[in-house]
Structure 1
Amino acid sequence: MVMDEHSNVTLLKEIAELLNEETDMKRMLDGAVWKLLNGSNFESAWIFFINEKGKHQLVTHANLPPALQRNDCRHLQKGGCWCVKRYHDGDLEKASNIIACQRIENSIAANALDHGGITHHATVPLQSGEEKFGLLNIAAPDTVRFSKDELALLESVAFQIGSAIKRIGLTKQEQEMALVKERNRLARDLHDSVNQLLFSVTLTARGGIEMSEEENVQGTFRDIQHLTQEALNEMRALIWQLRPKGLESGLLEAIQAYGEMLGLTLELKVTGVIQLPSRTEETLFRIAQEALNNIRKHSGVSEAQLFLTVTSSDVLMVIKDEGRGFIVDERLQLPSIGVQSMWDRAKAEGGTVDWSSEIGRGTEILVRIPY
């Protein structure tokens, strides 16, 4: 294929403008690959993100032939291949032609008439400085090898995308840090104001009980003390949710401390070594918080069990109680706002939440999150 230098400069400028304007990772990647295809001789493209353990994730694709699109891009999603292995081994430093692609070969073997003439592809790592994020792959019908000019264009686009991924990642980190600071400020304000006022009311109510000799008045003060103590417990739980204490000491310690604060006895069972990313730990902690809140409010019991199983690719957390349970209405997508919150948190990390419950036999929440 012959590449036009002027058109390449125009294409790189258009891609750079898109990458500089976009703040959403998915839209940025989708827009970049489509601009690359529309302004070049390449006809198909896909991007893998690859983590430190070499596990790849298909994050975007454009104009794939039916054989590669079939079953939610199964041949791209599953299994191994040479380019990902070379990337993980550190042997892939620049744009390269891939002579044999196991993923494409498997798709052709399964759907021989639907591969659209695509039998090979070129690949280039996405990186910013020394930090690597994954691979950009491109292909064209009846093309075994791409020219030096085409590979040079691919490298230039990959450099731009890698820089944009880094920028969006840093922006997201800054936003998360700002959110943490705001949570901490709210937690401090609640502790220093509302929390202290509620504590003062409980002391006042206790004094009223001791000072009065009339049973009716004492009963009123007891009600005030009880209601204020409940409100104080709710406030402390809210402060925990805004600023989890003890998470820096470990996930299990934080969950157990939160359970104790709610008045729950929590039995813990762990399988595997807990070495999780901080984001995964906070997600599990937030989900556990919601589950323990539900146990305290609705189960009628003060004991629960938590099972944590950590594998090389994901973490499984199960929280069980033997309380009242509830009836799951199959017509409803989710039974409560609390469960919806757990489901949303897990989904944001690519995970799942399932639950089972039966009247008089308790409830079980099962959480699975990849990392």
Structure 2
Amino acid sequence: MTKADHSNIALLKEIAELLNEETEMKQMLQLALEKLLEGTKFETGWIFLIKDRRRHELIAEANLPNNLEQDGCRYLCKGGCWCLSKYHNNELEKASNIIECQRIELANKHSNEAHDAITHHATVPLQSGPEKFGLLNVASPNTVRFSDDDLALLESIAFQIGSAIKRILLTKQEKDVALAQERNRLARDLHDSVNQLLFSVTLTSRAGIEMTDEPLVKETFAEIQSLTQEALTEMRALIWQLRPKGLETGLLEALKGYAEMLGITLDVKVSGVLQFPSKIEEALFRIAQEALNNVRKHAGVKQAQIIIRVTHSDILLVIKDDGRGFSVDSSIALPSLGLQSMRDRTEALGGTIDWVSDIGKGTEILIRLPY
């Protein structure tokens, strides 16, 4: 066994230990990439996580030349290239040398600085069994081709990284299942205990109104009944948020059911086919939930409109009301936690959110999600 073989085995062991210790995806990939560059002749590298043909995320990069690092690595983040095309066409199954990288060419073309002589890179898919997760790319100055031994080492490391990605995704999936089960348990407990107690208070206060002729006592019982009814509506809304009923029969039925429970008349307009992955469908439902809650609590109206437009590339969700509205000022914090929650959910899926509102002129919220 040669000295190089010993060195490669030691590197593979170090990377394996690092991957086994980490539980957060971005940090794991960043550290693994840095360790790879530290122990090999590769001098720069970057990792794409790839969700579909329209979306890839630059999740890790190290030692990039200035022309690739400038403007937030925009030449790596935008557009297509040979390796992505081969990846999507299932033509990239092992570590390969790439000639004339489009991203590097474009970065060099628009750079006023020397481009550090990086013109080519090698690429290898990150996968576990038949599942593919992304690409690992590496490069070195004045190098247009790596040796078979270099590519074999790169392939071994990519296999380790792919297995670690699969482990983290499975762990997250287990946590999501556990979270859903806990939500269901809390929803059942709230329904069986607090919800029933509030309903009993409502009935008791109603009976109290009928049992007395004292105007002040009647007024007190009426106030108790009103407050309890409001609390009951809040509790039912909370239970819906924990365990959305109706999604099993589709997003539209769930939204109509939730609006009806809140006492809101909902006008729904749809264009395109509503066939979404469960994750996107639940996100749309949760976002619309928050918007409808805001209508009930703040708009001062009992009507709202939801528009859903589906194209081949994205989903547009619009929630409108003709209520009180609010003053939009981008320099201050968002006016409600509900809006912040909608923004968080939207951005977590790579989407955008905006709103148009003014005092006395209602509110329109626009959400666009890639699809």
TM-score by length of 2: 0.96
Instruction: Pick closer, same or farther for the CA change 1:352–1:125 going to 2, 3 Å.
Output: same
TM-fit CA distance, 1:121: 0.6
What's the offset of the Cα at 1:222?
Answer: 1.5
Match of 1:198 in 2: 198
Mapped to 1, the partners of 2:330 and 2:132 lie a distance apart of 45
> Does the 8 Å CA contact 1:126/1:159 hold for their aligned counterparts?
yes
Deviation at 1:112, TM superposition (A): 6.0
Specify the SS of the correspondent of 1:70. Answer: helix
TM-score (norm 1): 0.96
Whole-Å separation in 2 of the counterparts to 1:348 and 1:90? 28
Structure 2: how far apart are the matches of 1:88 and 1:320? 39
The answer to whether residue 266 in structure 2 is matched with residue 278 in structure 1 is no
Q: Quote how far apart the aligned CAs of 1:3 are.
A: 8.6
Contact kept in structure 2, 1:34 and 1:62, CA below 8 Å: yes
Q: Secondary structure at the match of 1:4?
A: helix
Provide the identity percentage. Answer: 67
Alpha-carbon distance in structure 1 between the residues aligned to 2:203 and 2:216: 19
Q: What residue is the counterpart of 1:41 in the other structure?
A: 41
In structure 2, relative to structure 1, the CA distance for the partners of 1:3 and 1:361 (3 Å cut) is farther
CA distance in 2 between counterparts of 1:292 and 1:257 reads 12
Letter in 2 for 1:45: G
Q: Would the alpha carbon gap of residues 329 and 105 (structure 1) be closer, same or farther in structure 2, given more than 3 Å must change?
A: closer
Equivalent residue number for residue 134 of structure 1: 134
- Cα distance in 2 between the residues matched to 1:101 and 1:112: 19
- Which residues of 2 match residues 173-188 of structure 1 at below 5 A? 173-188=173-188
**Aligned residue-pair number:** 370
SS at match of 1:179: helix
TM-aligned CA deviation for residue 324 of structure 1 = 0.7
Question: Structure 1, unaligned stretches of length 5 or more?
Answer: none
Q: Distance in 1 between matches of 2:249 and 2:63?
A: 48
What corresponds to 1:352 in structure 2?
Answer: 352
Quickly say closer, same or farther: Cα 1:114–1:254, change in 2 above 3 A: farther
- Quote the Cα distance in structure 2 between the aligned partners of 1:267 and 1:343: 23
1:235-264, CA deviations, whole angstroms, 9 ceiling, x for partnerless residues? 000101111111122222211211111011
Q: How far 1:34 sits from its partner (Å)?
A: 0.5
Instruction: Please say if 1:302 is aligned against 2:292.
Output: no
Is the CA contact 1:105–1:119 (under 8 Å) kept in the aligned structure 2? yes
Structure 1 residues 274 and 114, CA, compared in 2 at 3 Å: closer, same or farther? farther
Deviations 1:194-240 (A, max 9, x none): 00011111111122222323333222222111111111000000101
CA distance in 1 between partners of 2:330 and 2:32 (Å) = 42
- 1:57-76 aligned at under 5 Å gives the runs 57-76=57-76
> Contact 1:95/1:123 (CA < 8 Å) preserved in 2?
yes
Q: Distance in 2 between matches of 1:271 and 1:103?
A: 37
Counterpart mapping for 1:1-371 below 5 A: 4-53=4-53, 55-111=55-111, 113-371=113-371
Equivalent AA in structure 2 for residue 290 of structure 1:
E
Q: Which moved more, 1:186-195 or 1:97-106?
A: 97-106
Residues 10-53 of structure 1 deviation map (CA, whole Å, 9 limit, x = unaligned): 11111111100000000011001000001110011111122243
Query: 2:123 & 2:329 partners in 1: Cα distance?
Result: 49
The AA in structure 1 aligned to 2:43 is E
Q: CA deviation at 1:89?
A: 0.8
Per-residue deviation, 1:330: 4.2
Aligned equivalents of 2:194, 2:343: Cα separation in 1: 30
Moved more, 322-331 or 259-268: 322-331
